[in-house]
Amino acid sequence: MIYTKVSFIITPDNEINREILVAVLSQTEFESFDETDESVEAFWPGENFTPEAVIPLIQDLNFDVEMKDEIIPDQNWNEVWEKNYFKPLLIAEKCLVRAPFHTEYPEAEYEIIIEPNMAFGTGNHETTSLMAEEILKLDVSGKTVLDMGCGTGILAILASMRGAEKVTAIDIDHWAFEGTVENARVNKIANIEAALGDASLLVDQQFDIIFANIQKNIVMRDLPVYNNVLKPGGQILLSGFYKNDVPDVRNVAEGLKLKQIGLQEKNNWVVNSYQKAAD
């Protein structure tokens, strides 16, 4: 998939201002964020990014923001990842995420091999590692699981390795869809059903556990749909947003009579867990 990369150069540049900027940009259609020493980088799907969609959000900030955009074409992400020194990642001392080209890595109870073919999804982002840590605590044995915004399929694969009966993995990005299919094959996982699309695909299904690691506005918009396909007594893990976004998400969840049962934080990112009342 083609992306537009928008680089935001902040003055003065510090952690607090970066967090404020990302929180503001999360109101838009940016799909993912990354940070370099020089800037915050946001990735917009497709080629139709217009600065006018962002300028009103950043012009009133109490710091200066310079914006530059460029088109990122489809490319060989394997080469990109190797060039960027993607290293094996050990999560909670139990789950190793590595690429096929890695030759040195620690042993772990669960080893997930990710075939690089897209820009995002190594597991290094706080939200992915937070979600993986929660899955390592969950009893998913024999459960039906939905992974929304599945990326490279890391969470879906981990759920399967921990005994889930069936996992449905959905993403709007064709690289993510194809990556999940390929990574399930590489890891010899046969019970993951990947689909290309969004929450509109959720018709007549029922799940014991739902993962949604996407973005605040999408999570809030689609939470009623997730609730409709969540079995009574089921759990839903939400991530992709900051700690200060939790009250907004909680308002939507509580309006659906979901009960908050957990909140974990890492570098201001969170995973927010809810449970549906049993019949």
Q: What is the pLDDT of residue 115?
A: 76
- 94 phi/psi in degrees, rounded to 5: -125, -25
**pLDDT for the residue numbered 144:** 98
Kindly report the backbone phi and psi dihedral angles of residue 104, in degrees, each rounded to the nearest multiple of 5, phi listed first: -125, 125
Q: Specify whether the backbone of 142 is left (phi greater than 0), alpha (psi in -120 to 50) or beta.
A: left
The pair of three-digit structure tokens given for residue 272, joined into one six-digit string? 């927010």
Q: Which two tokens stand for residue 53?
A: 């969609």
More confident call, 266 vs 157: 157
CATH code for residues 3-72:
3.30.70
Q: One-letter amino acid identity for 23?
A: A
Which pair of structure tokens corresponds to residue 201?
A: 């695909």
- CATH number for the region 126-276 comes to 3.40.50.150
* Tens digit of each residue's pLDDT (9 = 90 or more) over 114-136: 876 544 555 667 888 899 999 99
* Phi, psi (rounded to 5 degrees) for 160: -65, -45
Share of the chain above pLDDT 90, in %: 57
Residue reference for tokens 């999360």:
26
Domain ranges in the chain are: 3-72, 126-276
pLDDT of residue 72: 77
Location of structure tokens 């921990």: 162
The pLDDT of residue 123 is 61
Contacts (Cβ under 8 Å, ≥6 apart) of 167: 144, 145, 146, 147, 156, 159, 160, 191, 192, 193
Tell me the longest C-alpha to C-alpha distance in the chain.
54
- Which of 110-124, 137-151, 252-266 is least confident? 110-124
Residue 68, pLDDT > 70, answer yes
Question: Residue 26 above 80 pLDDT?
Answer: no
**Which carries the bigger pLDDT value, residue 27 or residue 213?**
213
Predicted structure pTM score: 0.75
